[in-house]
Structures are given as structure tokens and as C-alpha cells.
Chain A
Amino acid sequence: MAEAIRYRKERIDRGIKARTDTIYLLSSLRDMVYLFLPRFLPILLLLLLPFFVRGGYWEKVLFYSCMFALLALSWDFMASVGLVSLGQALFFGVGAYISGGLNYYLKMPIFLTIPIATLGGALFCTLLLFSVLRLRGVYFSMVTLILPLLFAHLIETLDILGGTHGLLSLTPFPGGYPAMYLAIIGVIVCLFGFRKLISEDFGLVLRGIKDDDRVVMAGGINIHWYKAQAIFIAGAVGCFAGALMTHYYQFVGRSVFALDFTVLPLAGAVLGGPGSFAGATIGTFILVPLSEALRALGGLRMALYGVILIGALVVLPEGLFHYIERRYHQFERDARV
């Protein structure tokens, strides 16, 4: 019996990829475009989008997408240290309540409340999570799942910070653009900043902690200090998003601790591909407008996120971004086995 000739897919880097990795990149315009287009196009798109959706409904959608993108980036950053959070709503809510509270009770202006909420909120979250930093894997996830719920119930039970009614009529942003550009620049800075950070020495330690924390410990590195720093950074991003949202809506209530602010960023990051930051951004920028377009479904939207999350986990576990990236850099061909 003749043995059947079997083929398998073989992936090979494109020539242009190999060239642009080195100094030869400078030799042709095409190579430069190949390298820089994927970086500049999204920035340009993000910066120009507010002009296209000026005023009205889709401006809100864009703002929303930026909020969730920030949360997804913050999730992704924690996940790349091995801290899988099931409660980004914690950061979001803490930031929202700090800026809302400062504005409501102390009448602080916006340009003070947002920085204070960002840094103070991050510090608060870091101290809060400091005692559970030792937990690994699913145990840490469970703590983060519970904490936002705990805060929402505490606010309701103690009737503090507006209780069930929330804090109303906070200072709005002057006009539409400042809020929008704060959000967009926030997304861009986080996206590229995180990508840079994770490839530095600092990021190397963080990824090491994710892969094998005991080896990093054996290397004489205090992993708890690194984890705390990572949570501070991720917390700052989440709190910043919360603070922006508070002033955008001029309202803060218990809903900031809701499951939405956990599930949607998570779904976005998983759909886009965790670990790359770009994936998280792409995922949320697909999901949020999609879910707005499907608003007619009402309560089913949450269910839809669930379906997308499961689908992404099963069908495309590497995520959209990694798939696109691979297609961009490599081609496939059949090779004889």
C-alpha cells in the first residue's frame, strides 16, 4: 500500500518582516510603511474619530468604547503578571466614587478630582489588594470577583456616598472634546506605554512572575513588590476611566460596581487576544459598538457577551489580534511531511 503523501501547514516569516527587523528597514519606503502603518493608523483613526461622530449618540458610544478599552487594557496588564482579575469594576468604581465624592462634598474642580482619583484610587486599590497578593490563580480571581460586590453592598447598607441614590449633578466637562480627547489619549498612552513597558526589563520580570513565580523568587526578586506596582499601574488606569465616566455623566451610583464593567472588558480582552494590549483595545472597540447596535435586544446583551466570551475561548483562543498579527508577518504554505 502506497503511503499517502501528507501535507501540513508551514508558517514562514515574510521577507519584509525579516528586513524590517534590522537596519535595512531604512532602505525603502515600502519597508517603513510596513513597519509603521500598523502603529500610526490606529492612532490617526482614534484622533480623527471624534470629528466624524460629533455630537449625538455615536459620540457617547465612542466615549464608552474608550472607557471599556481602558478597563480592558488594565485587565490585560494585570493578566500579564498572572493576576487574572474578575473585578475590573473595583478599580472603575473606586475611581468613580473618589472623584465623585471629592467633587460633590468638597466642591473640587475637575482638573483636581481626576488626578486625585486616578492616583489615590490606585493607591487605595493597591493597599486593599496588598494582603491578597500572595494568592495565586483562581483564588486571586475569586477575591476580585467578590470585592466590587462587597463595595456596592457596603455603600447601600451604610447609606454613605449617596447610598442607593448616588451622587447627582457633579461638574460636567467643558464641552464635548476635552472629555473625549482625555479618553482617547488615555487609551493611546496606555496601549503603547504598556506594550513598551512589558518589553522592558521591568516587563520581563512581570512576565516571569506570570510564567513561574517561584523561579523569579529564587532569582532574589521580591515578586510581591512587583505585583503591587503592577496593580498600582492597572488600578490607576481603571480609576482614571471611572473618574472620567463620573464627570461625563455628572453622576456616580452603585452601578459603577456592576458586573458590566467586569464582563465587557474581559470579553473584549479575550476576544482580541490577551497579552498583547492591542488585542484588548481591538476587542472592546468591536464589542462596545456592536452591543450598542444590538441595543434592541435589551437584557440579552449580557447574554450575548457571555456567548462571545465562550466562543472566543473555544474557537480562537489566541485572540483576534494574534491571528491578524500572524497573517501580517507570516505566510502559510503546504509542506510535505
Chain B
Amino acid sequence: MEILIYGITNSVTLALMAIGFSLTFGISGVPNFAHGAFYLLGGILTWIFINQLGIPYLFSAILSVIIVGLLGFGLYWGLMLRLRGLVVNEVIATLAAAIVIIEVLRYLGFSGFTYVLPEFIKGSVNIGKAWLDYQRIFLVGIGVGLIIFLYIFTHRTRVGLSFRAIAQNERTAISLGIDSDWTAALSMAFGSALAVVAGLAILPLGSIDTEVGYDILIYALAVGIVGGLESVPGIVLASFILGFCQILVATFFKAQWLTVVTLGAIVLILAVKPSGIFGKYKELEERV
């Protein structure tokens, strides 16, 4: 029972971390390796707004989502646009941007027990033997909501469909009147904003540590790769597989195995089926 409950919350947490990354990298094919850095930056911005500028929680949350979204847009427009098409250079550039953001934040000392975001509602509830705080319940709610939103967004709305279009075939998308640069920049903005939303839901569970900037990227990569980058059901399935694996491993072995399981899963999936469990589009692109 505890395993079930902790497994579900853990899985949804993973899914939340991965959604933004999946939206940019998976669905519209723009590698945003600064995902973890934006997640971290969002949390710290919110903390600054609340504690140093005295802005109420809700406004500071919305404000930091918007700011980081714009930053993502700016990163694309200012930097990635010059490298568009050279996927590996895009990866290197965004990874470098992530390193810059994270290391500057680390240098400024935004790490440790002082930096705690407020929970939505304090307190906890007992379910069987498991002990669950309200924040985690909210987190599950937000996670499920976002996944449904993402599915509808990418399958029913014009913008969402154009995201998928430029990933599948950019030239055809252009010939159908989709401005691919604009769309890619938008998806970068959306992904970054979603990273902050995830951060706002997850970060209150502990204190902010700059190291999470790298960890989040790894988890998001893991979920994205295992599930198949462009597939929303893939994200859900992969986060449940990984989430339960982690909980089982942590229960029956040692907690240190968590990261090893995640990293091992990435390598295994990439070696066996790089497009992931649900992936299908890129069979020809990814290997020979």
C-alpha cells in the first residue's frame, strides 16, 4: 500500500519534471537542455519575489512563470536561431546556457535551508500506513492536470499541432504556412514555463539546492527517452515505470540506487530502442 501511494506520487513528480522538456525536445524537436536550469531559476525567482520584494505568493509564482517563459523565448531567439538545424550544436549551446545559469546561481549562493518555497497548504494525512502531505496531493493533481492539458494542447489546438508538425517535417510545415522559427521559440517558451510550474509544485517539498538543476535534466531525459520523446502516453507510462522502479529499489535496497536505476534505464533504452517505448517517428533518423 505504501509502495503504491509513494510510487504514484513519485511517478507523477517525474512526469511533472519531464513535461516541459518533452514539450520542447520531444514534441517540437528543439533540444532544451537548459530545462533544469529554468526549473531552478523559477524556484529561486519566486523565492526572491516573496521574501525580498514582498509580493504575494500567487503573483510571484505567476510572475516567475512568465519571466522564465520569456527567457526561454529569448534563449531561442537570441541564440538557438543562429544554430538551427545543427542539432548537436543546439544541444551544446543549451547545455552551456544551463551551466551558465546554474553556476551563476550557485555562485550567488542560492542554495541551502534558507531557500524554501511555501507549500500550498501545510499538513499531512494518513492513508493506511503511508504518510502523505497535502503538497504531494496537490502535486499529483497538478501533474495529472498538466498531462491532460498537454495531450489536448498537442492534439487539438492549432499551436500544439504546429509544434508537432515542425518536429515531424519542418519543410512541409513551412510550406503549409507554419512559421517554424516562431513555433520553435514558442515551444521553448512553453517548455520553460512548464519547468517553472513543475518547480513550484515540487520544490516546496525540500529546500532549493542548485544541484537539482542538473538532476532534473537527467530525470527529464530519462522519462523522455524511456517513454519516447514525442509521445504524451509515453511520458505517463515511462514516469510510472521509472517511478515505481525507484520506489521499489529504495524500499528493498538502498536509496543511493535511485540515480543508478534512472541512468541505467536511459542507457538501456537508448541502446535497445532509442525512440522509446512509444516512439515511432524517428526510426531512420536515430540510427543506421
Contact = CB atoms under 8 A, between A and B. Distances in A.
Contact of B79 (A141, A142, A314): A314
A141 B96 contact: no
A150 B97 contact: no
A274 B214 CA distance: 26
B267 A150 contact: yes
Interface stretch (B85-93, B119-127, B167-175): B85-93
A187 B4 CA distance: 55
A153 B256 CA distance: 8
A77 B242 CA distance: 35
A25 to B, nearest CB: 37
A153 B218 CA distance: 13
Contacts of A138: 31, 87-88, 91
A175 interface: no
B99 A305 contact: yes
Interface in B100-122: 100, 103-104, 106-107
A302 B82 CA distance: 23
B256 A306 contact: no
Given A138-B87, A300-B104, A306-B100, A149 B218 contact: yes
A154 B98 CA distance: 25
A32 interface: no
Interface in A238-284: 259, 263, 266-267, 270
Given A147-B267, A153-B260, A310-B96, A299 B103 contact: yes
- Most chain A CB within a 10 A radius of its CB, from B89, B256, B287: B287
Given A270-B92, A299-B107, A313-B89, A149 B97 contact: no
A132 B263 contact: no
Contacts of B107: 298-300, 303
Contacts of A300: 103-104, 107
B270 A143 contact: yes
B88 A142 contact: no
Nearest to B89: A313
Nearest to B263: A150
Contacts of B92: 86, 266, 270, 309, 313
Contacts of A27: none
A310 B79 contact: yes
A217 interface: yes
Contacts of A302: 99, 103
Given A137-B87, A146-B266, A214 B221 contact: no
A157 interface: yes
A156 B259 CA distance: 11
Interface residues of A, number: 42
Contacts of B83: 313-314
A144 to B, nearest CB: 10
A15 to B, nearest CB: 36
Given A156-B256, A223-B288, A146 B221 contact: yes
Contacts of A137: 87-88, 285-286
A86 B91 CA distance: 10
A135 interface: yes
B201 interface: no
Nearest to A301: B103
A303 B98 CA distance: 9
Interface in B232-277: 254, 256-257, 259-260, 263-264, 266-267, 270-271, 274
A314 B89 CA distance: 10
Nearest to A214: B288
A131 B274 CA distance: 12
A326 interface: no
A157 B93 CA distance: 32
A136 B285 contact: yes
Contacts of B286: 135-137, 139
Interface in A279-332: 298-300, 302-303, 305-307, 309-310, 313-314
Closest 7 pairs (CB-CB, A-B): A303-B103, A306-B100, A306-B99, A306-B96, A150-B263, A309-B96, A134-B287
14 contacts: A135-B274, A141-B88, A153-B263, A223-B288, A259-B99, A266-B92, A270-B92, A299-B103, A302-B99, A303-B100, A306-B96, A309-B92, A309-B96, A313-B93
Interface of B: 31, 79, 82-83, 87-89, 91-93, 95-100, 103-104, 106-107, 214, 218, 221, 225, 254, 256-257, 259-260, 263-264, 266-267, 270-271, 274, 285-288
Given A132-B267, A135-B271, A314-B83, 6 more contacts: A134-B288, A137-B88, A142-B270, A303-B99, A303-B100, A313-B96
